[in-house]
Every structure is written in structure tokens, then in C-alpha cells.
Amino acid sequence: GPVNAPDTDDVGWLVAVGWPERIAARREGRPGAFLLAGGRGAQLADADLLAGEDWLAVAALDRGSQEARIHLAAPLSPAQLRAAVGDRLVTQDEVGWRDGDVVARRSERLGVLTLGSRPLPDPDPDAVLDALLDGLVESGLEVCSWDRATRQLQARVLLLHRHLGPPWPDLSDEALLERVREVFGPFLLRARRRTDLEALDLTTVLRSQLPPGHERELERLAPTHLEVPSGTRVALDYGEGERPVLAVRVQEVMGASHTPTVLDGRLPVLLHLLSPARRPVQVTDDLDGFWEGAYPQVRAELRGRYPKHDWPEDPRRSQPTHRPRPKRRG
């Protein structure tokens, strides 16, 4: 007969034809453990020679309390199995998020058993999109590639959302994931797998959520940099706190008594005032109070350590600078 043709005298084949629900597949990692097509677990005695077979046709078993005990069974080759139950095999396509990526497979199943599966060559794009959106929700937005500028953009818009409300949207991770399809769907129409999530341009995604025409307003109300009295543009850090942080050397804000602000003057920034070596000296949102209260002690401590830098007695009437003064001659 043809190669792989089943031997119809074979006990295994006869049992499989008569009781297809008693075909059993070996379970990984548990010696002698099998799963029956009907859904029950079944166990062979450990020493049984059939314990290493991939497929069995089970002729006799008892019900058992937890698992059935197999008393009589015969091995079954994949070809015999297919010949016995060919018309009962169900083809099933699965597209979903599994173990951190999109899985698209076509499987042949007999009851709860999978006989074989292969990659699905052309999965339904809607099902792939659903899987990717499930992946975003399950993994969290950390699965995407954030950079500092994008996190800062998110924090800037959140500051406006907290203080001004509409039309500034809530762009927190939680709020974005609650509207995952609306926010991310349009950017994932050609995406197929996890690496496409990692490659998402999140800056474009976040900016797509801003009210139309509000880019300039965002720059005005929550700028990325502020110019300090010395003329230097210093980056703001919108980070974790309630207000953005401006880290700047004491000498660069001399001559100013008012704390720099964002939100059109409504919100003073948090100043991290630094020594010439950029070590923190004071944290304050009240620059005038700093000059009045803590500065004299700061001046006394740092004047000897940084003699090339100006430490005037009245910093409010002093010129700011971002470099040490040249030594005066004479």
C-alpha cells in the first residue's frame, strides 16, 4: 500500500475509529500524563512502556477522582489518527496577543487537542489590530519606545489639563489606554507585531490628541525652556511633581526678585538653585524669599569655595552671569 497508509488491523486505529473522544495526546513535562480529546486528563502507570508515546488510543480507563487511569491503550501514529478521524478535524484560525506578541496561527483540532498548527499567512487586519490593542492594554504603554521629549510633552499637556481643564486632554497612560482604539488605532493600521508597537512615533500620537491649532498655545503656556536673567535658555523639567522644575545656577538669576512662571504667570516654577559646580543649594518657589532668608548663609559658605564667582551682598541689584567674572587687575 501507499507510504504512511494506516494498518487497518492495528488496534490503535480501530479504537480511534470507534471512540474518537478517547484519542489522547501526551502532556509536556509530566511522565505518563495525557489529555483526552473529550477534555479529561488521564494517567498511565509511570513504568508503562506507552508513557513516551505522543498519541494513544485508549481502549479502557476508569473514571478516577481527579484524573482517569488508563488501563489499556495502543499507540497511534499521526497518519492513523488522521485516517481515523479526518472528517472530525476542525480547522481553527487564531489571531491574538500571546506571550508578548501577536500570534496568528491556523490549527487543526480534535476536541480539545491540537494536531498541528502553522503560521496564518494572511491574517484578518481587523483581528491583528484587535490583538495589538489588547497587547497595549495588557503590557502598558512601556511596550512603546518613549524618549524624554515625549514624556515631557505628555507631562506638559497634563499640567494644562490639571490647571486649565478642557480643551486640554488627559494624556496620562491610564487615560490613553481607556481610549486605546480611538487614540492608537489610526497609527496601527499597517502594524503586524510587537516591534511595530515599539516603533510607534508617540510624539505624533500625543500631538494628534491636542485640540486643532493649539500647538502655539502649548508652547506659550507650558514652554520647554525659559530664559533666565543671564540670557541663557534653561530647559524646564515637567517630570513627576505638581509644578515644573527649573534647575539653574544662583549666579544666573541674580538681578531678579520674581520667580519665573508658566501658565501665563499663574504658576511659579520650582527653582532648584545650584552652586557653580551644579550642586543643589536650595529648592524654592519664592526667589525673593531666598534672597532675603537663605542667601546670606549660602554666600558665606560658598564664597570661599568658589572665589572666581560673584557673591554680591545684594544679589537683587547685581548683574546675572553664566560664567565666572574675569579677575580685576590692579
pLDDT of residue 29: 84
pLDDT of residue 2: 40
pLDDT of residue 63: 79
Sheet with 90-98: list strands edge to edge: 90-98, 101-110, 113-119
- What lies within 8 Å, CB to CB, of 16 at 6+ separation is 22, 23, 57, 76, 80, 81, 84, 85
pLDDT of residue 49: 86
pLDDT of residue 46: 67
Other beta carbons less than 10 A from residue 74's beta carbon = 19
- What lies within 8 Å, CB to CB, of 182 at 6+ separation is none
The Cα–Cα gap between 239 and 155 comes to 6
Please report, rounded to a whole number, the percentage of residues in the chain having pLDDT higher than 70.
Answer: 95
**Cell numbers of 134, please?**
489588547
8 Å CB contact between 9 and 40: no
Give the residue, 28 or 322, on which the prediction is more confident. 28
Q: Where are the beta strands (DSSP E) in the chain?
A: 23-26, 33-36, 41-43, 55-62, 68-75, 90-98, 101-110, 113-119, 225-227, 233-237, 245-249, 261-262, 267-268, 270-274, 280-284
| 277 pLDDT tier (thresholds 50, 70, 90) | very high
8 Å CB contact between 58 and 72: yes
pLDDT reading at 185 higher than 70: yes
Please report, rounded to a whole number, the percentage of residues in the chain having pLDDT higher than 90.
Answer: 80
**Cell numbers of 230, please?**
543671564
Please give the angle made by the CA atoms of 328, 329 and 330, to the nearest 5 degrees. 125
pLDDT reading at 275 higher than 70: yes
| 325 pLDDT tier (thresholds 50, 70, 90) | low
pLDDT of residue 119: 95
The Cα–Cα gap between 268 and 11 comes to 85
8 Å CB contact between 220 and 212: no
Cell 509511570 maps to which residue?
A: 46
pLDDT reading at 240 higher than 80: no
- 2-44 pLDDT tens trace: 444 455 558 888 999 999 999 999 998 888 999 999 999 999 9
Cell 520667580 maps to which residue?
A: 259
pLDDT reading at 329 higher than 70: no
Q: Which helix (H) or strand (E) holds 81?
A: helix 78-85
The stretch 76-83 carries a mean pLDDT of 92
| 66 burial via Cβ count (<10 Å: 0-12, 13-18, 19+) | exposed
- 133-164 pLDDT tens trace: 999 999 999 999 999 999 999 999 999 999 99
The Cα–Cα gap between 218 and 165 comes to 13
pLDDT of residue 142: 92
Q: How many CA atoms lie within 13 A of 6 on its CB side?
A: 22
pTM: 0.77
pLDDT of residue 327: 52
